[in-house]
Structure 1
């Protein structure tokens, strides 16, 4: 038998990271993966069936910028600063404010929730067949309460948290008799017989808690960075409920904006009406004075002989009149500012021809409105409110300073114009002093009349703005809900279930392979000892089929034939008539070396090789368990220790009709097995066995237990080292590799025993 240069498993060891090898490692456990996939897909199906189905409803609104509104009431709206651009962040806060959301909760009765109770799944519903009217006040209900309701004919059976049961009529409220915190009545057009087998649950929640819950669910976001369109979204199980909440929120927000504009217009009307009363009295007083002056001084009309001079004087007087009107308006605004006891709105654009002052008053009014909105949601000690109050105080001081400066400028201009008027009046030096006095009275009358007409115009504009309630928002889309639920989603649940079903068994097996420290597959063995070839993999077999026969064509039999065939390539060439000695050992007991040695002997004998199987494990007579112990009187130990025992006494044959197979048992356990195996007698035994047999298979003790295998290895041509899948430790493999590298066990090759994956293979000719 020539030694082959083929190293039949070295490449496999070097390619341990190959994908095919990795797949081959996990493929034997395909039932685990199949079971994991089936279980996870089943759980995914149950989750899809019984998990709460959540939908997302979305509505879009556009905040209307009042500064861009083209309307005949534009001037009236700008009187108190209504024409400023909308602050989008402020609008978002108003939409999410407790005040607005509380109106939505109270309008839709969101503090009362309805559920349909199933055996496993409980679903929130929006329109149950009955209506519930809460009888308790907002302050008296401090915690949520739950009641189960079942319809029984025209009555309802109600069970509270303490399992107390009440029977109430669905036709007439009778809460006073039952002491329930609500009345329940059947909705019109509903047939109670359709709901007799359905169990409902009614939950009463404190209004404050219901508002806070709604605030958590509501999302308000900008559609884009520079857009004035806001997207309102909410998630829930009931599509109708979510859409109703968003639509009602839009209505309440719009109504709130309309009320704000109407309030400002109303304040403007009240202010102008008060000024009308005082101006009317002043004009009446001037008219009476003028009439008395003319009657007393017997005056009627101005003489017409100084027309040219009169025109010059009229121009000067007109300019003086305008300045005095501005002085009066400034004084009027100054009184309105100083008369305020708290932060109130100021009249805007009352006729002052000072753009900066009008802008300061508009900014002041806008801050007042912002402070009032914030005051409705937070306390007076809130930092933002304190900052706004300080801002208003500074603005009021700046307005007064500006008014004082403006009045000073007006007075200077008035003095200049007065001097010019006086120069023009020199031409009238011939006119009687009484005519001058009459002109002074008429000038005062013109000032008051001009102011009266201006305020009358502003009042009409403010009244028009109050009557025309244009919306503060434009509804882009009312609430819409996607037909596909937000969760659970089939396209996510089932793929994830499949992945988890594959991943969990993989992780379990990976941890098993990584942490247990045992040899599992051929690749583990090849990676730890790449320079030692692997003869074959022996599949797991039943105890009743430990030993093969010559007619056996099973996977087990073929595995041993493969092992012997591969072993032949490792055996060195010898002289004609000299056999080969093969040592069979392992690291520890229980790895299958005796069974392997016996089956390899059977495989060699079936190929007509003269085979001697030697039980050299003198401490453990494992080989005799496969035969009849009483049929053999002597063994190897007696042969080596007693001279009277002859060769023929220890060589037995006639097993399974195999004439080519002989067996030498170990015999009785001697007191000194190591001395017997290291002596000349054992060397002579091996020499004679090699002379008479083609193959001498020696079943030796484990290499980690005793030194016997190393002593026997001196006579062996090759070593078959047994490694058992799931039993042999990786450190044992490293130990065997050291023995091979040190040449203590010659021509070592592995046999991987008890490989369960081979059970699935089939061998056919």
Structure 2
């Protein structure tokens, strides 16, 4: 069992190897097509490389502040950072790639206008070296609008007008066409382009912005550092550099504008409070002044002074508590407001670090939300985490404010209680003095608050005037490696196409080829043995090749002769029990066939499905091979419609033949129609004679049976060349006289549908002892056939003629 399994595995592997070798042979045969494909592909690649515009990668690097990377980082002067918001690198990348910034850069650099000139088969972009600048006065139709501007001299140019006619226009003079109203402003490069045609292309700025958005690549260069790399590919390196540098400038400008806007809003709030406090402080000062004047107060006795000092100290604390309560009230109003105003309330006098931190965090979140709102729609999912953080921070502030407020109210009650006790202890102090103290107290409160707010305003003014930027440039825009064309990649693509396209051509050509190409095609469709395989020979005409011992096909015909003799011996063994007069056997299907009795000649019939399958060539060479073995052989030219045998043996076609003999009009004997050949004395030919009008009727006559019987007695072998079976029924008529029928199938010529017809013929038993001769095998072309050539039989291989070599070369395409 183990040996059998191993043997089966070996056979399967060997079969797979043969199949692979067969498939590869089919493609290797067409090597000139692959060579031509590779040459054309590389020629096309060379032309493309010579005419393709070169693209370069331009890159820049910036560093942004990222609160996730440095959450504990503090400014040296935190008062100057009142309105700044911590940065998030991922969010900054989205801002850098926002359409607002890109559109601004496109419009600032006027990238929606391109200037080109033709240089041979390619165009050159004149960015940075254009002879003039287009100044748009009134916009028209931009989409795909191209203008060809011919520079005539330093003062004028020629362009098409609205009517499609050429018109000369002066530089700096307005002109109107489909693109709108515009003028051309000359540059210092103008004189270099006099007489040249400049192609000006106008595109919609929005479309150009979209294309730059797609081309712009922005990503973090290092996950541990907030360093952002900006990359873009452009045919003009300077344009790519200008775009990235302008984008960074626009980004810093937008961030600075947003920072100044929020700082200005805070300053305006403080200014409004200072204006209000100025009025209140003036009122308090005037009230003290009036009271002193009206009451005539100048000094207070020492006792009153001590009480007053205690009261003032206590009142000062009470004032601070009241200020803090006012601030707490402002914070409550700010937190409970439904709007997302970025102006944070002042936390003056609040010493609670948790509350100050929470308010600062809330202000930072709202500033960050405002920054995103400037470049991103409010419905964008980016707002969802920020809104949640704002809501949570507000809730935390409410809880903290509640605790602080309760503490302040408790302190206020205690201070008021102390004040009441102190005031009760100074009942003897004049009422005027107590009223004066109250007035001074109010004046002091207003004055302290005014000084505090004035100090904060100066700090914010310094922050507003600062020139700090959010993005620090690590590397300015610089030109990198050539992006396109990449010669190794183009060469690889050319090689792939040069090999792949011919491969696909051959593959689809073979897929749609409905011809028989291998022995397997025959064996899988019909149950008919293949008696021999004959190689293809490039011949100028159908000639006798078996006499040349240096031909491979001669040996193949000798092999066919051996197999045919063995087949005839097998058949004759079936008729050994028959009497000589009983040399006919009726098949199981009721069809009568003749079989040669022992000692009589053997009759072999050759036919095919259609013409040009090599039937006459095989018949003549098979008969010659049989005669060369010393056997008396006669070949009958029974293709009465298109006879070829007499031509192959160079015999006269007007000699009486089968048509005259079978017609019974000429009363000819067998000797009258037999012709001797020059090939071999044992080889005779019975030609067709004149071509009859009713060949099928002639073949149906009993005269044919008598002729075959007589030839059996005279010759060892009778070879019959008949007409194609699928075209006419002559072969079926003659087959009743034959011992063996050979069916010629030509590789690459016979259609697969003929195998269906052949199967029907075999199943019906129209042809006795049917065998197949596989003819015209081209091993190199179809990957199937003998694995040796004429070099085995000849020390000096036959050199084909120049015409033959050229024909063979063309056949490989």
Normalising by structure 2, we get a TM-score of 0.76
Report if the CA contact (8 A) 2:152-2:158 is conserved. no
Report if the CA contact (8 A) 1:374-1:385 is conserved. no
Instruction: Report the equivalent of 2:593.
Output: none
Q: Distance in 1 between matches of 2:303 and 2:330?
A: 37
| Structure 1 position 322, deviation (Å) | 2.0
Q: Does 1:77 align with 2:81?
A: yes
Instruction: Report the equivalent of 2:502.
Output: 505
Question: What SS class does the counterpart of residue 39 from structure 1 fall into?
Answer: helix
Instruction: Report the equivalent of 1:88.
Output: 90
Q: Distance in 2 between matches of 1:678 and 1:52?
A: 86
Where do residues 31-70 of structure 1 align in structure 2 (5 Å cutoff)?
A: 31-65=32-66, 70=74
| Structure 1 position 21, deviation (Å) | 0.5
Q: Does 1:468 align with 2:466?
A: yes
| Structure 1 position 325, deviation (Å) | 1.3
Instruction: Report the equivalent of 2:706.
Output: 681
Instruction: Report the equivalent of 2:154.
Output: 154
Report if the CA contact (8 A) 2:616-2:721 is conserved. yes
| Structure 1 position 245, deviation (Å) | 0.6
Instruction: Report the equivalent of 2:512.
Output: 515
Report if the CA contact (8 A) 1:522-1:752 is conserved. no
Q: 1:184 to 1:16 in 2, by over 3 A?
A: same
Q: Does 1:672 align with 2:679?
A: no
String of CA shifts for 1:19-55, please: whole Å, max 9, x gaps: 1111222333222222222223322333333344433
Q: Distance in 2 between matches of 1:176 and 1:643?
A: 104
Instruction: Report the equivalent of 1:7.
Output: none
Question: What SS class does the counterpart of residue 47 from structure 1 fall into?
Answer: helix
Instruction: Report the equivalent of 1:107.
Output: 108
Report if the CA contact (8 A) 1:371-1:385 is conserved. no
| Structure 1 position 600, deviation (Å) | 2.9
Q: 1:553 to 1:168 in 2, by over 3 A?
A: farther
Report if the CA contact (8 A) 2:674-2:686 is conserved. yes
Where do residues 354-753 of structure 1 align in structure 2 (5 Å cutoff)?
A: 355-356=354-355, 359=358, 363=362, 366-367=365-366, 370-371=369-370, 374=373, 410-411=408-409, 413-423=411-421, 425-429=423-427, 431-485=429-483, 487-520=484-517, 524-525=521-522, 528=525, 532-533=529-530, 535-539=532-536, 541=538, 544-548=540-544, 552=548, 558-572=552-566, 574=569, 580-605=602-627, 609-618=631-640, 620-626=642-648, 627-635=650-658, 638=661, 644-655=667-678, 657-667=679-689, 670=695, 672-673=697-698, 675-676=700-701, 680-681=705-706, 684-689=709-714, 692-693=715-716, 695-705=717-727, 709=731, 718-736=740-758, 744-746=767-769, 748-753=771-776
Q: 1:685 to 1:422 in 2, by over 3 A?
A: farther
| Structure 1 position 201, deviation (Å) | 1.3
Report if the CA contact (8 A) 1:148-1:202 is conserved. yes
Report if the CA contact (8 A) 2:646-2:685 is conserved. no
Question: What SS class does the counterpart of residue 134 from structure 1 fall into?
Answer: strand
Instruction: Report the equivalent of 2:272.
Output: 274
| Structure 1 position 723, deviation (Å) | 1.6
| Structure 1 position 116, deviation (Å) | 2.2
Q: 1:314 to 1:109 in 2, by over 3 A?
A: same
Q: Distance in 2 between matches of 1:21 and 1:678?
A: 50
Question: What SS class does the counterpart of residue 569 from structure 1 fall into?
Answer: helix
Instruction: Report the equivalent of 1:5.
Output: none
Q: Distance in 2 between matches of 1:341 and 1:591?
A: 95
- Comparing 292-301 and 172-181, the one that deviates more: 172-181
Instruction: Report the equivalent of 2:326.
Output: 328
| Structure 1 position 260, deviation (Å) | 1.5
| Structure 1 position 586, deviation (Å) | 1.1
Query: How large is the RMSD of aligned CA atoms in angstroms?
Result: 4.7
| Structure 1 position 254, deviation (Å) | 0.7
| Structure 1 position 663, deviation (Å) | 0.8
Q: 1:48 to 1:687 in 2, by over 3 A?
A: same
Question: What SS class does the counterpart of residue 241 from structure 2 fall into?
Answer: helix
- Comparing 247-256 and 278-287, the one that deviates more: 278-287
Report if the CA contact (8 A) 2:603-2:740 is conserved. yes
Report if the CA contact (8 A) 1:571-1:717 is conserved. no
Q: 1:155 to 1:519 in 2, by over 3 A?
A: farther
Q: Distance in 1 between matches of 2:136 and 2:273?
A: 50
String of CA shifts for 1:211-262, please: whole Å, max 9, x gaps: 4444444344455778644443333322211221111111111111112212
Q: 1:605 to 1:301 in 2, by over 3 A?
A: farther
Where do residues 229-248 of structure 1 align in structure 2 (5 Å cutoff)?
A: 229-248=227-246
Q: Does 1:264 align with 2:262?
A: yes
For structure 1, the residue ranges without an aligned partner over 5 or more in a row are 1-9
**Number of equivalent positions:** 736
Instruction: Report the equivalent of 2:123.
Output: 122
| Structure 1 position 730, deviation (Å) | 0.9
- Comparing 202-211 and 240-249, the one that deviates more: 202-211
Report if the CA contact (8 A) 2:332-2:398 is conserved. no
Q: 1:393 to 1:581 in 2, by over 3 A?
A: closer
Q: Distance in 2 between matches of 1:499 and 1:13?
A: 30
Q: Distance in 1 between matches of 2:500 and 2:103?
A: 48
Where do residues 299-314 of structure 1 align in structure 2 (5 Å cutoff)?
A: 299-300=298-299, 303=302
Normalising by structure 1, we get a TM-score of 0.80
Q: Distance in 1 between matches of 2:764 and 2:654?
A: 41
| Structure 1 position 333, deviation (Å) | 6.0
Report if the CA contact (8 A) 2:735-2:768 is conserved. yes
Q: Distance in 1 between matches of 2:397 and 2:234?
A: 54
| Structure 1 position 559, deviation (Å) | 1.9
Question: What SS class does the counterpart of residue 481 from structure 2 fall into?
Answer: coil
Q: Distance in 2 between matches of 1:222 and 1:393?
A: 27
Instruction: Report the equivalent of 1:192.
Output: 191
Question: What SS class does the counterpart of residue 672 from structure 1 fall into?
Answer: helix
Q: Distance in 2 between matches of 1:647 and 1:339?
A: 129
Q: 1:113 to 1:356 in 2, by over 3 A?
A: same
Q: Distance in 2 between matches of 1:403 and 1:12?
A: 83
Q: Distance in 2 between matches of 1:429 and 1:600?
A: 156
Q: 1:749 to 1:140 in 2, by over 3 A?
A: closer
| Structure 1 position 158, deviation (Å) | 3.3
Question: What SS class does the counterpart of residue 656 from structure 2 fall into?
Answer: coil
Q: Distance in 2 between matches of 1:363 and 1:740?
A: 97
Where do residues 173-184 of structure 1 align in structure 2 (5 Å cutoff)?
A: 173-175=172-174, 181-184=182-185
Report if the CA contact (8 A) 1:323-1:410 is conserved. yes
| Structure 1 position 338, deviation (Å) | 11
Q: 1:108 to 1:442 in 2, by over 3 A?
A: same
| Structure 1 position 301, deviation (Å) | 5.1
- More relative contact order in 1 or in 2 (CA 8 Å, sep 6+)? 1
Report if the CA contact (8 A) 1:561-1:603 is conserved. no
For structure 2, the residue ranges without an aligned partner over 5 or more in a row are 1-10, 573-597, 784-788, 796-813
Q: Distance in 2 between matches of 1:257 and 1:590?
A: 87
